[in-house]
Amino acid sequence: MDRVKELADQKHCTPGQLALAWLLAQGEHIVPIPGTKKRERLAENLGATAVVLSPEDLQRLDELAPAGSTAGARYPNMATIDV
């Protein structure tokens, strides 16, 4: 998380904005739906649209959290979804 915060600081954004910017950079088929109860967080979330991520930034983020690295037992087996 420290390296994510470091990159967020370099981009002059919050880690949450960085995460949303990364999601937005994944393609038009991805639509993040962040939840919030406070106007301040809504404004923060909207600020993610102004965060510009270079190909190098995206690669760095992918290296920090490789696909599958967050897998765990939180959710049941979802192998049958979209079958």
Q: Is there a domain that residue 30 lies in?
A: yes
The pLDDT value given to residue 83: 58
Q: What is the CA radius of gyration of the chain?
A: 14
Dist. CA 6–CA 39, nearest whole Å: 25
The pLDDT value given to residue 16: 94
Q: Is there a domain that residue 83 lies in?
A: no
DSSP assignment of 11-52 equals: TTS-HHHHHHHHHHTT-TT-------SSHHHHHHHHHGGG--
pLDDT in tens, the chain (83 residues): 899 999 999 999 999 999 999 999 999 898 888 888 999 999 999 999 999 999 999 999 999 888 777 666 666 666 776 65
Q: Is there a domain that residue 49 lies in?
A: yes
Dist. CA 21–CA 15, nearest whole Å: 10
Q: Is there a domain that residue 80 lies in?
A: no
Q: Is there a domain that residue 55 lies in?
A: yes
Number of domains in the chain: 1
Q: By residue range, what is the domain housing residue 21?
A: 2-64
H/E stretch holding 8? helix 2-10
